[in-house]
Amino acid sequence: MATQMYQWTGRCGPLDLEVSDTTFQPSTISVLLADALEVNPGDAVIDIGCGSGILSIIAAKLGAGRVIGIDSAPDVVEVATRNATRHGVADAVTFLRGDLFDPLPAEVEADVIIGDVSGIPDAIAEESGWFPSRAGGGPRGSELPIRMLRAARERLRAGGRLFLPTGTLQDENAILRTARSLYGKVTQLAERRIPLPRALAETTAMVQLAAEKTVQLSEKGSRLLWTARVWECRVG
């Protein structure tokens, strides 16, 4: 597959990253997650939805003892491993291809999980082109994140932390209800309002989801905005 270079200018940057046609490029959510990420020396980290591997690389640079990045993209192992090698952390990071935690043996646990999975409704993912696979997080954008939350709870050690992005382009309340029912403490760490392209806002799918209040948009002047948030879910 053809690849190109992308420059990450967020935390620990600038870093040159290789991305392919099937690689999810870092986004505003990636930047927010990177800034919020807390890794202690020696922590075991699992990065779900690792894409180019940028958050796995940052976790390793912050002192993680071992990082496993997982993504469903067909060339994630090759592309992300080359990025980790390029930035000197290949010895600490391993990449696997698969669905959520499926590639891992049942006994593998972590101190930190990064849960950056696709979380917008399928119809919006198809219209937006933001994801190479054009697949979203389910009809309401909450189904995949909720499945991830349940699986992650079984993988976190006592005192472990899950870093969870949410946004108002999905059924955010359903995701947070699930998080609060599974984890001892859920704390908001970051928030940013992001402009939504007018063409996307006016699609039939977006209008219908907004009318149903699955998605929540705000206005600033002539612009429509959605809100992204990052949460820490901590196991008691």
∠ Cα 32 34 36 (to 5°)? 70
Query: What phi, psi does 143 have (nearest 5°)?
Result: -65, -45
Cα–Cα distance between 8 and 73 in angstroms, integer? 20
137 and 219 in contact (C-beta within 8 Å)? no
What predicted TM-score, i.e. pTM, was given to this entire model?
A: 0.94
Q: Domain limits of the chain?
A: 3-194+228-234
Task: List, for residues 179-215, the tens digit of each pLDDT value.
Answer: 999 998 999 999 999 999 988 988 999 999 999 999 9
Tally of helices (H runs) and strands (E runs) in the chain: 8, 10
* The listed CATH number (3.40.640.10, 3.40.190.10, 3.40.140.10, 3.40.50.150) that belongs to domain 3-194+228-234: 3.40.50.150
> Which tens digits make up the pLDDT trace of 49-70?
999 999 999 999 999 999 999 9
Instruction: Give the number of residues written for the chain.
Output: 236
